[in-house]
């Protein structure tokens, strides 16, 4: 059996995903976590084979959680499961060490395929995500996107800012000084051509950095 940990801040989504995974026959959901910090604890306690990781969550988020999990438990396989299928999120997750990236809208068969493929040592990107990446590359959108200017850390700080987290919260979660967080904030303003957090949030919504409710 493949032992899986689910990490997503929506309890209803975790419940639905658990029900779907039971149908696979060779996958056992051994635990759940609602944020990246809890995921670190659960990986340590449960030693899962694979983590299904959401990207956009309160706290440190999926990118940083992936990086920290693999630093402590390098044998754990991580697959990002997210609605954020636009560039540059897939590349940032893969750079952090994730071996798979699938859309929350993918069929159950593709979810099973992703888990089994990654457990076999292969990388897996869902058809929807791969298609969007291919289209953006052909259209030259990757080079033109303002998001391509950002480092993985800057992306992480931005997602935390636009999810409503304050400087001290970000500082505590990422082990950065408040001054460093403020430096990242102003660097984001400069790179993205915005003047404040409200404009940054509007930018994030336009570019699918955060999910619109």
pLDDT of residue 50: 97
Q: What is the pLDDT of residue 79?
A: 94
Q: For residue 112, is pLDDT > 50? A: yes
Q: Report the top-level CATH class of 2-137.
A: alpha beta
Q: What is the mean pLDDT of the chain?
A: 83
Q: Does domain 146-206 have CATH number 1.10.10.10?
A: yes
Give the model confidence (pLDDT) of 167-183 as tens digits.
988 888 788 899 999 99
pLDDT digits (tens, 9 = 90+) for 66-104: 989 999 999 999 998 877 655 556 667 777 888 988 888
With contact defined as beta carbons under 8 Å apart, do 80 and 55 qualify? Answer: yes
Beta strands in 60-106 (DSSP E): 77-82, 100-103
User: What is the predicted pLDDT for the residue at 137?
Assistant: 44
Domain 2-137 matches domain 146-206 at the CATH topology level: no
**Per-domain residue ranges for the chain?**
2-137, 146-206
Given pLDDT bands bounded at 50, 70 and 90, which one contains residue 158? confident
Please, what sign has the CA dihedral across residues 29, 51, 112, 107? Answer: positive
């Amino acid at each position: 059996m493949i032992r899986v940990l689910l990490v997503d801040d929506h309890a209803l989504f975790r419940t639905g995903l658990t029900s779907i995974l039971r149908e696979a026959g060779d996958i056992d959901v051994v635990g759940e976590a609602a944020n990246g910090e809890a995921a670190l604890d659960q990986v340590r306690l449960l030693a899962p084979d694979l983590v299904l990781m959401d990207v956009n969550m309160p706290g440190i988020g999926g990118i940083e959680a992936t990086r920290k999990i693999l630093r402590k438990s390098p044998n754990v396989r991580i697959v990002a499961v997210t609605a954020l299928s636009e560039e540059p999120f897939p590349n940032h997750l893969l750079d952090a060490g994730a071996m798979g990236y699938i859309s929350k809208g993918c069929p159950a068969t593709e979810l099973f395929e992703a888990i089994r493929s990654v457990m076999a040592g292969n990388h897996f990107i869902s058809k929807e995500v791969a298609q969007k990446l291919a289209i953006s590359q052909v259209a030259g959108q990757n080079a033109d996107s303002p998001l391509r200017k950002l480092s993985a850390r800057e992306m992480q700080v931005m997602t935390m800012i636009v999810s409503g987290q304050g400087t001290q919260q970000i500082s505590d979660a990422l082990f950065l000084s408040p001054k460093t967080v403020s430096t990242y904030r102003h660097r984001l303003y400069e790179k993205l051509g915005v003047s404040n957090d409200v404009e940054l949030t509007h930018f994030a919504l336009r570019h699918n950095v955060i999910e619109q409710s």
